[in-house]
Amino acid sequence: MRTQVGIIGAGPAGLMLSHLLHRHGIDSVVIESRSREYVEHRLRAGVLEQGSVDLLRDTGLGARLDREGLRHEGIELRFDGESHRVPMTGLTGRAITVYGQQEVVKDMIAARLAAGGTILFEAPAERLSGLDSAPVIHFRYQNRDEELHCDFVVGCDGYHGISRPSVPDGVLTTYERTYPFAWLGVLAAAPPAVDELIYAHHERGFALYSMRSPQISRLYLQVPADEDIADWPDERIWAELRTRLETVPDWTLNEGPVLEKSITPLRSLVVEPMQWQRLYLAGDAVHIVPPTGAKGMNLALADVALLGDAFATWYADGSTDLLDGYSRTALRRVWRAQQFSWWMTSMLHRLNADDPYEAKLQSATLRYVTTSPAYATSLAENYVGLPEV
C-alpha cells in the first residue's frame, strides 16, 4: 500500500488530520487497532474550546455539533457552602460547547468515508521503519502482514501506541507528574440539574457535575488512586455525590440509572520534541493532562491543525519551515494547558487530608478567583481556549 501521509490512530487527532489533508488534496490512510464500533462509543472528553468548535465548523464538521452540542457561557465554582458563577463569555467573548468525544469521532468517520477516505479498523500497527527517508508502517490487517509506504508518519495512537517508542532512546525527554488520586466517573440517565458545569471543592474531595445531553448527566468524584470500582455500588456513588454537591440551599441532585462507571488515574505528561525525522507525534501520544482543565481533546485538535498547514505547505512548495517548527510551536500551547490543568487540579482537589493549612489556601484561592475580575478572566480565557499561545 502507498499513501502520502500514514496516520496511526482513529481518534479525534488522526481523523481530523486525515480530514484536513483531504481538504488540501493530500492523500492519507488511517490505521486503527480497534473496531469502528469501539472507537465510536468509547467515552472520553466532552468539552470543546471555542477554537475547536471553530475548527470543526470551518472544515464542514459542525452540522450535528450545532444541532446537539450544548453551548455554555460560564462555569460554577462551589465551595464553603457557597456557589459562584464565572461568566466566561462575559469576560472573554468566547464559550465552550459540551459535545462528547465519541460524537466528534462519529462525525469525522462519517465525513472521511463519505469523501472516499481510507480508514482501516482492527489493523494494529506493529512497527515503523525507514523513518529517515522512506517511512513504512508495518501492521496486521485481516490476518495478514501488511505494509503502508508513505512520505510521513503521524502517530496519533496514544500513550500505549507504537509511535513514540519507535524513536531511539536518548532522543526524547519526558516530563511527568502522577497525582495521588483518581476520578470515579459516572454516566447516568438523569436529566442534568444545572445548565452549566459545577466544580465543587469539598472537605471529602473534589466533585464535578457535567452533562452529555439534556437527558444524560456525567459526574465525577475524587477517590484514592488505588480505589477499586467494585467498592462503589451505585447507592454509595449517589450518596457521596449528594454530600459533595448539595452544599447550597434549595439545590438537589437529579439521580437516575447508572449507565457506566469507571476509575481513571490522574497524571500529567509531556514528551519533547514532538517529532523525529519523518515521524510526527500528536495528542495523547506525547502529552496527557488531568481532565480538570478539559484540555485533552482540544490539544489534540490543535496539534493536527498545525500539522495540516505544515504538510500543505510542504506539498505545495517543498518548504519545511512549518514542519521543522511543529514541535516548538505546539509545545507552547501544550505547556500553557499543562499549567492551567495543574492549577485547576491543585486548587479544587483535596491534596492532603491531614493538612488544614493547605485547605485554607485553596479556599483563599477560590475566593480570590470569584471576587477578582482579573483572576476570573485568567481562568476564563484559559478554559475557553486562548486563540494564540
**Domain of residue 108, CATH code:** 3.50.50.60
Task: Please indicate, yes or no, if residue 19 is contained in any of the structural domains.
Answer: yes
Q: Are residues 251 and 271 in the same domain?
A: no
Cell 460547547 belongs to 97
In this predicted structure, what is the pLDDT of residue 389? 56
Q: Are residues 218 and 290 in the same domain?
A: no
Task: Please indicate, yes or no, if residue 68 is contained in any of the structural domains.
Answer: yes
Task: Please indicate, yes or no, if residue 169 is contained in any of the structural domains.
Answer: yes
In this predicted structure, what is the pLDDT of residue 354? 79
In this predicted structure, what is the pLDDT of residue 130? 98
Task: Please indicate, yes or no, if residue 79 is contained in any of the structural domains.
Answer: no
In this predicted structure, what is the pLDDT of residue 373? 97
CA distance 5 to 21: 9
In this predicted structure, what is the pLDDT of residue 149? 98
Q: Are residues 216 and 279 in the same domain?
A: no
Number of H helices, E strands in the chain: 12, 20
Q: Are residues 254 and 283 in the same domain?
A: no
| CATH code at position 246 | 3.30.9.10
Q: Are residues 108 and 250 in the same domain?
A: no
Q: Are residues 35 and 121 in the same domain?
A: yes
Q: Are residues 296 and 223 in the same domain?
A: no
144-149 β-sheet, strand order: 125-129, 136-141, 144-149
In this predicted structure, what is the pLDDT of residue 387? 81
Distance of CA 158 to the CA centre of its chain: 11
Q: Are residues 194 and 282 in the same domain?
A: no
Q: Are residues 222 and 341 in the same domain?
A: no
Which triple of cell numbers denotes residue 137? 508502517
Question: Residue 155 belongs to what domain range?
Answer: 5-72+97-176+267-345
Helix (H, G, I), strand (E, B) or coil at 131: coil
Q: Are residues 142 and 252 in the same domain?
A: no
CA distance 244 to 208: 9
Q: Are residues 168 and 54 in the same domain?
A: yes
152 and 145 in contact (C-beta within 8 Å)? no
Q: Are residues 305 and 218 in the same domain?
A: no
Task: Please indicate, yes or no, if residue 84 is contained in any of the structural domains.
Answer: no
Task: Please indicate, yes or no, if residue 86 is contained in any of the structural domains.
Answer: no
pLDDT tens per residue across all 389 residues of the chain: 999 999 999 999 999 999 999 999 999 999 999 999 999 998 877 899 999 999 999 999 999 999 999 999 999 999 999 999 999 999 999 999 999 999 999 999 999 999 999 999 999 999 999 999 999 999 999 999 999 999 999 999 999 999 999 999 999 999 999 999 999 999 999 999 999 999 999 999 999 999 999 999 999 999 999 999 999 999 999 999 999 999 999 999 999 999 999 999 999 999 999 999 999 999 999 999 999 999 999 999 999 999 999 999 999 999 999 999 999 999 999 999 999 999 999 999 998 877 889 999 999 999 999 999 999 999 999 999 988 65
Residues serving a catalytic function are 72, 199, 291, 295, 383
In this predicted structure, what is the pLDDT of residue 353? 76
Task: Please indicate, yes or no, if residue 89 is contained in any of the structural domains.
Answer: no
Task: Please indicate, yes or no, if residue 104 is contained in any of the structural domains.
Answer: yes
Number of domains in the chain: 2
Which triple of cell numbers denotes residue 76? 460554577
